[in-house]
Amino acid sequence: MPSTPVEQTLMASLQLLLLLLVLCPFQKVSSVGVNYGTLGNNLPSPKRVAQLLQSTLIDKVKIYDTNPEILEAFSNTGIDLIVAVENYHVANISSEVSAADEWFANRVLPFIPATSIVAIAVGNEYLTTDPDHLRPNNLVQAMQNLHAVLVARGLDRKIKITTPHSMAVLASSFPPSASSFATTLMPTMTSLVGFLADTGSPFMVNAYPYFAYRDNPSSVNLQYALLGNATGVRDPMGYIYNNMLDAQIDAVRSAINALGYGNQTVKITVSESGWPSKGDPGDTAATPDNAKTYNTRLIQRAQSNKGTPMKPKDNIEIFVFALFNENKKDGGVSERNFGIFNGDGSKVYDVDLSCQFCSNEGAFEFGEKTSSGVRGPSVWCVAKPHADEKVLQAVLDFCCGPGGVDCREIYESGNCFAPDKLHAHASFAMNAYYQMHGRNYWNCDFKGTGLVTFSDPSYGKCRYPQQ
């Protein structure tokens, strides 16, 4: 049967869309992660934290266990989670695959897919925390066992297995181009990096310029440590570093290359980096001003989509340390004061985490919040903070066209036209479509760009409809 003119037009449109997808591949959008530690007796509830993080530019959260209350709180938030195997569980999980499967079935499986768990960190600084009692071989075996569990369950593409290291795994970190892993760790690191390369998992490193400056203030430039030295430090191979963090990342990169993995893709993730606002007596580095400067620049660095002098095109994923001050944490005063927020929810210093249209006027605070929406069981659909703009444009065109949404409010004379930004307009249209079609979770998917929220995204005279 010959096709109708309408079908011919539709087919032509689909062919054009496919051609555009081939010619204009989507760009990876940089994300900002944060470490959410819970060693405090005065912290907000996980549910409150999860709700309010949706109001920010944070779209990935790393925790240090598999706290079920946290995993439940982050379900259907659109925020990715990295969970962890505590150091003392590594030996058991390394013993056999069945032990790893039992751990996964009890700790992680009940919460997916509602909670977006994208990685499991096996241990934390395992190789350098307690070398007298923690066996290095157990770490690699535990990672292999957990990966086998994911493969058997068909989850290895969604969830990656990795482990965060301290900079102490390196024999030296300067100059970056000459860095290598500590000799005693070389066999373990060879196996570990090989595993990461084979599974497409990132190498995680906890990198803290703060400690380098605190311990050597006479030889380390403060602005270089604070990510802001424009003069730069020159590596013998010609690389110029304007901040210490990039030099630390490239030191890890050189150590990986020295193992013979230079031709394989092993992405590097900064799993922790931050600056404390308070330290022990005599610690002149740990101040609120320095912490604000470092973390502001760190967040900008995470969003920049830039690499390092050795690999300028390789985007570096970064997790800020930390969300809260933790008053029950061991160690010196600085260890309890890395947080952007105090335990009572007040800001230690002002760092802009706002994300317009993620919730009410982008506000982010842990106090009581008045809602400008209708009271009762309300839920809305908005665009994810870092959604690809090409996808959002296609979603907007669909909603305001074949989707049947009345988009007059986001036209130039409408109450929701300002600000004239794609993310704002797409959020309004996506929510209207979501409300029209019964508020089922699949009505807010939109190729993975939609996010269900319990916070009313209305602002000013712009009212987001609800069912």
Q: Residue 306: which of 242, 214, 368, 260 has the closest Cα? A: 242
Q: Which region, left, alpha or beta, applies to residue 59 given φ > 0 means left and ψ of -120 to 50 means alpha?
A: alpha
- From 96, 125, 335, 412, active-site residue: 125
Catalytic status, residue 412: no
Which among 458, 431, 457, 456 has a CA at the least distance from the CA of 446?
Answer: 431
CB atoms within 10 A of CB 50: 24
Based on the residue annotation, tell me whether 86 is a catalytic residue of this protein. Answer: no
User: CA 277 to CA 428: how far, in whole Å?
Assistant: 39
Q: Which of 272, 361, 409, 412 is catalytic?
A: 272
On the CB side of 168, CA atoms within 13 Å amount to 10
Per the structure block, which two tokens stand in for 423? 């993310």
Active site positions, annotated = 125, 272
